[in-house]
Structure 1
């Protein structure tokens, strides 16, 4: 019996010690601040992968800020996409060690991505290669600072230093101390430096890399060829009858409004005519895009034209003496009833889910607009009430469209709730990471606003709207990273890459029998835009939404405890890692403690 207890204890102890699949260490140069200025230092990053459930464990010393955590999380995501692995089937243990406090964790993102890929593939890394560069969601390597100091540190251990594309020519600062009588002046000047030339004087070859696949080649000698994707034309033909009906309706509304305002002789006639001119421009654009078979773009323009018309007509009624309460009589009850109807609509299939998400989001916006008028003036009431009126009509359109696509199995609300919770968490971490390394911008403000919308929708149990709003927030944060780290001359190339990815995801969704109506609609909007940033945003939406079925299918169909983790890259823990001796001792200590406890309990039981 004692032998049985001993064997049981040994087996339990062994189960407490994680077994790593592969361990890879990469050297990443960094900078530290000293009294004499910035100085290059080396950090050592070890990545261990093992079978698991998608958790990311990070251990840093000296302690690092959130940017290294966000960088590591993004590195795992990109690495798994590059080698076509499912991150949910692995746990990742990342250890960062440096002799000195280092500044800026994002510059190690590229090196971490290379290490994760090597660990997943079981490849060895060249010890004479080091790298500095951020990692972007589209696999490209982004710019970093302090490259001159990093090159000096890299020359101590490496023969090849990989830097982001376009950064072999850098600007460095030189300080000079000048003494004039009792006063000491310090002057700072900037000069342009050829990093390749400077590297040669250090015995270091400096080479630019465009994306992570280039970096992997220099570290391993192995090429990971990108998938051959041709962006196929994506048409919204399913939207044609709706777009045609809406365009005809708006043209009639415009003619009616034009007739009313022509008869108006008051002081605000010019203002009303300006609104109708804007409506007319949108109607012309809607007709033109319809003729070019861009039916969703045509629908959007018709809705915008309708907003101008509604605003003008409501103002006209007010100027003619009608109280605002009478103008919007029944609007509140209409929105409440519509909201209940949308909330009660159950999604059967991913296509219906996308439509319901659009309906939920728009009805929330409509109610928010109406709340804006509570403490405002009559003119505020008319402006926001008009918005609410048209947004409600848009919500009703998407609700009716969802009913045309109700087919397949019902998507369980609990899985949808878990997916929304996980995506909100992921979007929040993406925003925190982007905000920690980028200056404030309109893109980050939009990311924050849509994240707030996602959180509000979740509290209202509009889980579809919450999920898709969180996706929008995540896309805004990711596009801000891509835009900030890209030279304007290569933005078009980034758009082409995003187009290929979105097109591929849409085609893959269709192969599974899912018509990704919302993804296709955003794809078309991207194609109709001349602004590259808007195109990147819409293509990012299209890619994420077309692939949303994978995210939902990965969710548990049981309740996630409050404060517990969800299955997503957003769930991140920062304990001791097993990539170090301290980590192994930590888990060993737990095993011994548990073993002693089990031995004591079993001994007591067996003596009875």
Structure 2
């Protein structure tokens, strides 16, 4: 068996003989989302009230038994999400509360609108109204004056959500023309609720506006860097698994390129960042189904996220988006299970990236020179013509082949970023 490495720090050492200094987390760092407490409480109350209204609307409707059963089941699912939201609210997980409210509201609105749509004209008018909502929101947010990095992070999240709402509405129109009214209403409801979250993040950005004015055009170079570096990762991983199996990542990258061409640089950055992080999670968990090993990796990602948040705070930034993603990651982590661990990894990485993505003063990791240290060499052991399957323990680390590629990208990214 060849030499294995644990993470990017080991990989850099293996290939260069140099160590990257690992930053530490301040002892007094506290990551919480208490700044969202009032928002989460009000949002929960409004969503619960909306659920009760639609539940009563369904009870008094003239729907046939089969359709009624489908809609009732959908509302039951929404109520389950609301019950989870209440628990999250009681536990002080306010961003998780908002997210669960959002999930519930999509379903509730789907049922509400489906009950209201009786003709083709009704559905067409509904889609037009959602389109108007998207356009007015986009116009308002595009005219915001961005002051400081905290506001920039929130507005970037808002602009990405606007683009997502547009894509969802496009799907709704496609469903409408295919006479698939159930999915048309579903996608329209999703688009409408997504645009409400865009408004929320923009308002949060205004709440934490502080500092110099930042022009959107100044993000163009950063967006290009993120897209190019993410494309390298995606190209590599698709060469391993094929484009068909990773279409979601490819779509994210293509969306990012489209946003860039349209001058939506913050949305392009976020799409590229999300695609790259998802690809890295795939590489980092490849062939591993041992929860203990995955939790060890997750804890390193969690620590790195804390370091990044601390770095942002040191620069005078209040990283509202990063706090939110960090808490959401904790919610997944606490649930356990392979899928939840991977989701937690993804959101810890989001928390890390969004903390420092716009920091001009962010400097690359310090390289520790060790000229007298011998670089470890790869050793081989004789193998029988037929050998049994390797035990589970041999899956604990990622092989050097993917890391050789990633080290090149990481070092290139460090050199390519402006100080």
Shorter-chain TM-score bucket reads: 0.7 to 0.9
Structure 1 segment 459-478 matched on structure 2, within 5 A? 459-478=261-280
Any stretches of 5+ residues in structure 2 without a counterpart?
Answer: 364-409
Aligned 8 A contact 2:356 2:362 in 1 = no
Aligned residues: CA RMSD: 3.1
Any stretches of 5+ residues in structure 1 without a counterpart?
Answer: 1-130, 142-211, 555-566, 574-608
What secondary structure, in the 3-state scheme, does the structure 2 residue paired with 1:139 have?
helix
Aligned 8 A contact 1:251 1:283 in 2 = yes
Q: Does residue 260 in structure 1 map to residue 75 in structure 2?
A: no
Higher strand share: 1
* 1:376 shift after superposition: 2.9
Structure 1 segment 554-573 matched on structure 2, within 5 A? 569=412
Counterpart of 1:332 in structure 2 is 131
**Counterpart Cα distance in 1 of 2:137 and 2:98:** 21
**Counterpart Cα distance in 2 of 1:251 and 1:430:** 43
**Counterpart Cα distance in 2 of 1:133 and 1:434:** 21
Q: Does residue 384 in structure 1 map to residue 206 in structure 2?
A: no
Of residues 17, 27, 37, the one that matches 1:240 is: 37
Give CA-to-partner distance per residue, 1:148-183, whole Å, 9 cap, x none. xxxxxxxxxxxxxxxxxxxxxxxxxxxxxxxxxxxx
**Counterpart Cα distance in 2 of 1:134 and 1:314:** 55
* 1:359 shift after superposition: 1.0
Q: Does residue 432 in structure 1 map to residue 215 in structure 2?
A: no
Structure 1 segment 102-181 matched on structure 2, within 5 A? 133=3, 138-140=8-10
**Counterpart Cα distance in 1 of 2:289 and 2:22:** 22
**Counterpart Cα distance in 1 of 2:362 and 2:306:** 21
Aligned 8 A contact 2:78 2:108 in 1 = yes
**Counterpart Cα distance in 1 of 2:35 and 2:415:** 41
**Counterpart Cα distance in 2 of 1:342 and 1:136:** 43
**Counterpart Cα distance in 2 of 1:487 and 1:281:** 29
**Counterpart Cα distance in 2 of 1:495 and 1:340:** 40
Counterpart of 1:304 in structure 2 is 103
Q: Does residue 290 in structure 1 map to residue 133 in structure 2?
A: no
Counterpart of 1:535 in structure 2 is 344
What secondary structure, in the 3-state scheme, does the structure 1 residue paired with 2:9 have?
coil
Higher helix share: 2
Q: TM-score, normalised by structure 2?
A: 0.77
Counterpart of 2:311 in structure 1 is 508
Give CA-to-partner distance per residue, 1:97-138, whole Å, 9 cap, x none. xxxxxxxxxxxxxxxxxxxxxxxxxxxxxxxxxx95576764
**Counterpart Cα distance in 2 of 1:536 and 1:251:** 31
Aligned 8 A contact 2:256 2:272 in 1 = yes
* 1:484 shift after superposition: 1.1
Counterpart of 1:409 in structure 2 is 212
**Counterpart Cα distance in 2 of 1:425 and 1:282:** 38
Q: Does residue 455 in structure 1 map to residue 257 in structure 2?
A: yes
* 1:335 shift after superposition: 1.2
Aligned 8 A contact 1:426 1:571 in 2 = no
State which drifts further: 343-352 or 433-442: 433-442
Higher RCO (C-alpha 8 Å, min separation 6): 2
The structure-2 alpha-carbon separation of the partners of 1:344 and 1:395, relative to structure 1 and needing over 3 Å to count, comes to same
Aligned 8 A contact 2:26 2:310 in 1 = no
Of residues 319, 323, 329, the one that matches 2:122 is: 323
What secondary structure, in the 3-state scheme, does the structure 1 residue paired with 2:89 have?
helix
Counterpart of 2:355 in structure 1 is 546
Q: TM-score, normalised by structure 1?
A: 0.54
Counterpart of 2:221 in structure 1 is 418
* 1:345 shift after superposition: 2.1
* 1:528 shift after superposition: 0.4
The structure-2 alpha-carbon separation of the partners of 1:392 and 1:226, relative to structure 1 and needing over 3 Å to count, comes to closer
**Counterpart Cα distance in 1 of 2:315 and 2:115:** 51
Aligned 8 A contact 1:343 1:462 in 2 = no
**Counterpart Cα distance in 1 of 2:220 and 2:207:** 24
* 1:338 shift after superposition: 1.1
Aligned 8 A contact 1:352 1:403 in 2 = yes
Counterpart of 1:583 in structure 2 is none
* 1:341 shift after superposition: 1.6
Give CA-to-partner distance per residue, 1:14-41, whole Å, 9 cap, x none. xxxxxxxxxxxxxxxxxxxxxxxxxxxx
Of residues 248, 252, 255, the one that matches 1:446 is: 248
The structure-2 alpha-carbon separation of the partners of 1:345 and 1:376, relative to structure 1 and needing over 3 Å to count, comes to farther
* 1:317 shift after superposition: 1.0
**Counterpart Cα distance in 2 of 1:255 and 1:514:** 40
Counterpart of 1:6 in structure 2 is none
The structure-2 alpha-carbon separation of the partners of 1:440 and 1:456, relative to structure 1 and needing over 3 Å to count, comes to closer
* 1:254 shift after superposition: 0.7
**Counterpart Cα distance in 2 of 1:265 and 1:135:** 63
What secondary structure, in the 3-state scheme, does the structure 1 residue paired with 2:117 have?
helix
* 1:411 shift after superposition: 2.1
